[in-house]
Every structure is written in structure tokens, then in C-alpha cells.
Structure 1
Amino acid sequence: MGHDILGYDQSGKQIAYARFSMSNYNADVLYNVLDSEEHNAGVSGAFARSNFSVQQIELALRKFIQSHENKYSLKGNDPDNVQIKKFLENCLEIAEKEGKVEVCFM
């Protein structure tokens, strides 16, 4: 069991991926900044999909950076923080191009 969180473009191509073990609290961080706690089934995602606008992803990325800039290094020291930031940046890139990005919580 674990949390697999995937981002897709409008053609269905996977453009972002984040993976956390079932006991890794950093999964909660990603659910929280995406305001998607209802898709967290505890030991995994709830097998749900949501679309996010540019503004929603920008807000998620801003919340993540602001909450972690003083506590943790975002420059590569913590692999989970790096993967969360990269996931959000990849989703933002697609949302800016296509108007939205789909995220699947498994």
C-alpha cells in the first residue's frame, strides 16, 4: 500500500508523479496543499480524480513553498520535498498550457 499521485494532461499523458509509502506523512502535505484531503484514504489515495485550474496549482505551490522554506531545504536535501515541488511545478506547466490539469489519487 502507498500513495501514488499522478498528474495528466488533456490527452491522458502522465506528466507528474509522486509516490509515498502508506506511513509517510509527506503524502498528507501534498493532499493538504492541493486542498484534497477527501482523496486521502489513509494508507493510499481514494482512487479519485480531480481537475485543477492554473490558480489552484499556483496556490498549492505557493502554500508548499511558504510552509517549507524555513523548515526544510527545497534544494535537494529532502527527497520528498523535492518530489512534491517537482510534481506541483509539472502540473502547473500543463495547467498553464491547457487551462487545467487532472490529478489522480491512488
Structure 2
Amino acid sequence: MGHDILGFNRGGEEIAYARFSMGNYNALILYGLLDAYDYYAGVSGNGTETTYTLEEIRKSWREFKQSNKNNACESEDEFKHWDEKQIFRFIKNCLETAEKEGSVRVYFG
């Protein structure tokens, strides 16, 4: 069991992926940034998906940057821990896709 959170573009291509073991509390950081606690099922996601608008993803990105004030949030290399890097990469990739397409679809498994 674990948390597999995937982002998809309109064409159904995977554009973002984050993986947390079932006991990794850092999964809650990503759920929180995405305002997605409804999709959290304890040891994994609940197996559903939702679509985020560009503004919703921008909000997630702003909150991520705010919580990491000591970093410029320009590159994943600024972060020391793997989970910080994957959260950065996930939100950044979703933001880039939403900027191009207006939205992004996220699956919580």
C-alpha cells in the first residue's frame, strides 16, 4: 500500500507523479497543498480523481512557495529531501500543464 498521486494532461498523458509509502506523513503535505484531504484514505489515496483549474494549481504553488521561504523554488536541486523534491516537481509540472491547457487532472491512488 502507498500513495500514488498522478497528474494528467487533457490528452491523458502522465505529466506528474509522486509516490509515498503508506506511513509517510509527507503525503499529507501534498494532499494539503492540493486541498485534497477528501481523497486521502489513510494508507493510500481513495482511487478517485479530480480536475484542478489553473487558479487552483496556482494557489497550490503559492502555498508551496510560502511554506519554503528559504528556497527560491526555482529548481528541485534547492531541496535536500526526496519528498520535498517530488512535491516541488509534482506541483511545478501540474502548473506548467495547467498554464498551457487551463486545467490538470489528478488521480489519488
Compute the TM-score of the two structures, normalised by the length of structure 2. 0.91
Across the aligned residues of Structure 1 and Structure 2, the Cα RMSD in angstroms comes to 1.6
In structure 1, what is the equivalent of residue 20 of structure 2? 20
Alignment partner for residue 105 of structure 1, among 99, 103, 108? 108
In structure 2, what is the equivalent of residue 63 of structure 1? 63
Alignment partner for residue 79 of structure 1, among 74, 78, 82? 82
Number of residue pairs matched by the alignment: 105
Q: Secondary structure at the match of 1:65?
A: helix
In structure 2, what is the equivalent of residue 39 of structure 1? 39
Cα distance in 1 between the residues matched to 2:68 and 2:25: 14
Structure 1 runs (4+) greater than 3 angstroms displaced: none
Cα distance in 2 between the residues matched to 1:64 and 1:98: 21
Please, which runs of 5 or more residues in structure 1 have no aligned partner? none
Compute the TM-score of the two structures, normalised by the length of structure 1. 0.93
In structure 1, what is the equivalent of residue 50 of structure 2? 50
Q: 1:66 deviation in Å? A: 1.0
Please, which runs of 5 or more residues in structure 2 have no aligned partner? none
Q: Secondary structure at the match of 2:11?
A: coil
In structure 2, what is the equivalent of residue 90 of structure 1? 93
Cα distance in 1 between the residues matched to 2:102 and 2:55: 10
Q: 1:8 deviation in Å? A: 0.2
Cα distance in 1 between the residues matched to 2:58 and 2:23: 27
Q: 1:67 deviation in Å? A: 1.4
Cα distance in 2 between the residues matched to 1:68 and 1:25: 17
Partner deviation per Cα, 1:60-86 (whole Å, 9 max, x = no partner) = 01111211334xx96131110110011
Q: 1:40 deviation in Å? A: 0.3
% of aligned pairs identical?
Answer: 49
Cα distance in 2 between the residues matched to 1:68 and 1:89: 14
